[in-house]
Amino acid sequence: MNIFSEVKEYLTARQVAENYGLQVRRNGLACCPFHDDKHPSMKIDKNYHCFACGVGGDAIDYVSRMFDLSQYEAALKIVEDFRLPIEIKGNKELSEQDRERIRRERTERERLIHIREHFDRWCNHSIESLRDSLSLIEQMSIFLNGKPPDIIFSEDYAQMLQAEPIMNYWLDILCMGSTEDKQELL
């Protein structure tokens, strides 16, 4: 059996993609990393296929496309990264320089995944805070309905009302905006 068959026997495209940072939903859909995808258009399991850009293949094809490697280099990278018990025949083992490059790439990928997770936590916390603030403004409006003008027109309440449109705008961006739009809020 050759290296390609053995790698495919051990791993699915989904396992490989998730290891390299792709977030796959329970239904097997993910945002395609090969084009600017805002909504999940890639179905991924044993193999993968993007219904938007048309790319598809198996675990080795995914790594090959993701890291701009040949099929053989992609298979070797998978063997190395997943520490698969596959014997590499011939003189095609990775050189120390290639191993170091792969280690650097893995470290960089892990760093980017950490940054993405931190950013996602910030977005979720911000959404929660904005929803709480908007709920408070709504409750204040209900409470102040029919109260004397000196209470209704207090400076604190006026500031809350002035902040409401910008809070709704931020909430819209955090819930429906692109990653770039969200980053501009930082």
Q: What is the pLDDT of residue 173?
A: 92
Mean pLDDT of 18-47: 93
CA distance 48 to 174: 29
CA distance 107 to 102: 9
Q: What is the pLDDT of residue 154?
A: 74
CA distance 15 to 143: 53
**What is the edge-to-edge ordering of all strands in the sheet holding 42-44?**
29-30, 42-44, 48-50, 56-57
The pTM is what? 0.51
| Mean pLDDT, rounded, of the chain | 88
pLDDT one-digit tens code per residue, 117-170: 899 899 999 999 999 999 998 998 888 887 777 767 778 778 888 999 999 999
pLDDT one-digit tens code per residue, 77-101: 999 899 888 887 754 556 778 778 8
Structure tokens at 86: 């596959």
